[in-house]
Amino acid sequence: MARTQSKVVKAAPAQHRTLLPQGLVERLLSAAMERGADFAEVYVERNETTAVTLEEQQVKSAQAGLSQGVGVRVISGARVGYAYSDDLDDEALFRAARTAAFIAQGGGSERPFPVSRTPLPTFYRLEKHLADVAVADKRELVVRANKAAHAYDKRVKQVLATYADSTKRILIANTRGHLAEDTQDLCRLSTMVVAEGKGGERRTGFYGGGGRVPFTHFDTFTPEMVAREAARQALASMGAADAEAGQQTVVLAPGWSGILLHEAVGHGLEADFIRKGTSLFAGKLGQKVASELVTVIDDGTMANARGSLNVDDEGHPTQFKVLIERGVLKGYMSDSLNAQLMGTKSTGSGRRESFKHLPMPRMTNTYLAPGEDTPEDIVRGVDKGVYCANFGGGQVDITNGNFVFEVSEAYEIKKGRLGRPLKGVTLIGVGPEALKNVTRVGNDPMPDPGMGTCGKDGQSVPVGVGLPTVRIDNMTVGGTKVGGRR
């Protein structure tokens, strides 16, 4: 599906064609300020997506999408006006600017708002954009994943393999004189496997990954690796026993378990919840909120990571931020509006799903810093508990801190050793309490394959997660079997 343009003009990288001429952007800012607001911003986006889906041994569909549009935001005091349009003709653009301006009530006058380009770091610049990679090559990935999953074991009955990518170009300009443009490529290959065992028992496995990586990433992170891991997970829980409900010691496997940190802690540290007083971490800066083994970091600057950004969706550089240091709350993640209202500074955490959405504070790549124990020692130290090898999904109520995680692959721990697989395991807790009950943190690496997508207020953004092996005491495990104890 190579774009005709890239065939003809080889050396015309997407980021050098501007989305909107600078003069027009400046005139839009003026129009947005005509009722005398404090701030105006123009966000332009052009997003090209491709997806190839394979199921029932066949490439079912190949699809491509193009969305483009502009969002104009005007801020007057604490009031925000927002208008967006997917037409980019002058009339639609100025209508959006004036609609957003409606929020301000002053008289204001037409004055110029010149902008100049902000140089950006390059955490993920790709030589060849994903939109320019032939669709036949993308198709090949799902075909190989399907083959490898079926070859893994006869019990593999169904394979759903999906490759999806996007090449998103954005332009952000505001009345503080900044203009930034970025091209953000993102891809993910994923495989879902359904295996059937004795007596028709059906188990599923899921694995995938990618990031802001060149297409050659899949030369080393191969479709075969992805498929085999999904198949392994499906088979691992065959014949699993029902988990015992109640309080238990749990050990989280490294890597994807970071989703627990993301949900149970990360969201509560986003500045909008803090400002409104709806997070239970509000007003606790400098206080001890976790075990001293716990250091939590949000880092938007990791090379090629799924959650990284050269610039956030408000034009600010992303940062390496320590949120919790040895158990003490050090900082929040903020966009510019919440920072201004709270008298702090943006941490480059303003993100939005698209031009159709207002930016808000979001995570980038969030992880727990490694500790000192070896993963083997951590498991060896547990007399009775549950080893959580893989997670399905989770959800958190920011306000009361309640979180829930579905553990898709779990094992019993008995006298320091992994035992039989368990099914139907759900972890439930209150974020800060779970953090206080962290009693061991591993020194192992925490590979993030790059498959996380975070939803908040109906907006989805790609994120990275990470966690070394961690032991948490007194965690409530949900199951169908009520234990005899207690």
Partner 1 sequence: MSGYEALAKKLVQKAVKRGATQAEVFLQVGRQADVRVRDGEIEDLTQATSKGAGLRVFVRGRLGFAWTSDFDATTLDAFVDRAIALAQASAPNPLNGLPEKKDLGRFPDVGALYDPEVASLPPDWKIQASVEMEKIVRAYDTRIKTIDSVGAGENVHEVYLANSAGAHGAWQGTSVYLYASPVATDGEQLQTSSWYDAKRFFEDLETPEEVAKKAAQRAVRLLGAKKVKSQKVPVIFDPTMAAGFVASIAAAANGDAVYKKASFLASRLGQRIAPEWITIVDDGLKARGLGTSPFDGEGVPTRRTAIVEGGVLKHFLYDAFTARKAKTRSTGNASRGYRSLPGIGTNNLYLEPGTKRPEEIIREVPNGFYVTAMLGHGANTVTGEYSRGANGLWIENGQLTRPVQEVTVAGNLIDMLQQLDAVGSDLTFHGSTGAPTIRFKELTVSGE
Kindly identify the residues of this chain, within the stretch 361-420, that bind partner 1 according to CB under 8 A: 392-406
Instruction: In angstroms, give the least distance from the CB of 363 to partner 1.
Output: 19
Is 424 one of the binding residues for partner 1 (CB under 8 A)?
Answer: yes
- Residue 448's nearest CA partner among 345, 299, 335 is 299
Which 262-301 residues touch partner 1, going by CB under 8 A?
A: 273, 276-280
Is 445 one of the binding residues for partner 1 (CB under 8 A)?
Answer: no
Any idea which residue has 């510019």 for tokens?
Answer: 336
Positive or negative torsion for Cα 307, 312, 318, 321: negative
Instruction: In angstroms, give the least distance from the CB of 20 to partner 1.
Output: 14
- Nearer to partner 1 by Cβ, of 240 and 413: the residue is 240
Is 245 one of the binding residues for partner 1 (CB under 8 A)?
Answer: yes
- Phi, psi of 12, deg, nearest 5: -130, 70
Are 218 and 145 in contact by the 8 Å Cβ rule? The answer is: no
Contact stretch for partner 1 (CB under 8 A) within 16-24, 182-190, 216-224, 244-252:
244-252
- Phi, psi of 92, deg, nearest 5: -65, -40
From 22, 118, 222, 247, residue interacting with partner 1 (rule: CB under 8 A): 247
Site string for partner 1, 68-87 (x = CB under 8 A): xx-------xxxxxxxxxxx
Tokens found for residue 103: 């929020």
Give the sheet arrangement for strand 328-329, strand by strand.
Answer: 328-329, 320-325, 296-299, 365-368, 459-466, 452-456
- Nearer to partner 1 by Cβ, of 287 and 395: the residue is 395
- Nearer to partner 1 by Cβ, of 322 and 430: the residue is 430
- Nearer to partner 1 by Cβ, of 75 and 378: the residue is 75
The one-character DSSP state at 26 is H
Which 204-233 residues touch partner 1, going by CB under 8 A?
A: 204
Which 298-327 residues touch partner 1, going by CB under 8 A?
A: none
Strands 384-396 and 402-414, by their bridges, are: antiparallel
Q: Which helix (H) or strand (E) holds 362?
A: none
Instruction: In angstroms, give the least distance from the CB of 188 to partner 1.
Output: 17
- Nearer to partner 1 by Cβ, of 277 and 447: the residue is 277
Instruction: In angstroms, give the least distance from the CB of 336 to partner 1.
Output: 14
Which 2-61 residues touch partner 1, going by CB under 8 A?
A: 4, 52, 56, 58-61
Is 106 one of the binding residues for partner 1 (CB under 8 A)?
Answer: no
Measured over all CA atoms, what is the biggest interatomic distance in the chain, rounded to whole angstroms? 76
- Nearer to partner 1 by Cβ, of 125 and 147: the residue is 147
Which 325-354 residues touch partner 1, going by CB under 8 A?
A: none
Is 473 one of the binding residues for partner 1 (CB under 8 A)?
Answer: no
Size of residue set near partner 1 by CB under 8 A: 85
Give the whole-angstrom CA distance, residue 194 versus residue 156.
6
Long-range CB contact pairs, 414-420, < 8 A, 24+? 414/383, 414/384, 415/383, 415/384, 416/379, 416/380, 416/381, 416/382, 416/383, 417/379, 417/380, 418/379, 418/387, 420/240, 420/241
- Nearer to partner 1 by Cβ, of 281 and 387: the residue is 281
Contact stretch for partner 1 (CB under 8 A) within 14-22, 200-208, 211-219, 373-381:
200-208
Instruction: In angstroms, give the least distance from the CB of 345 to partner 1.
Output: 21
- Residue 475's nearest CA partner among 157, 275, 138, 250 is 250
Is 459 one of the binding residues for partner 1 (CB under 8 A)?
Answer: no
Strands 425-430 and 402-414, by their bridges, are: antiparallel
Instruction: In angstroms, give the least distance from the CB of 200 to partner 1.
Output: 9
Is 167 one of the binding residues for partner 1 (CB under 8 A)?
Answer: no
Give the whole-angstrom CA distance, residue 55 versus residue 32.
48
- Nearer to partner 1 by Cβ, of 80 and 297: the residue is 80
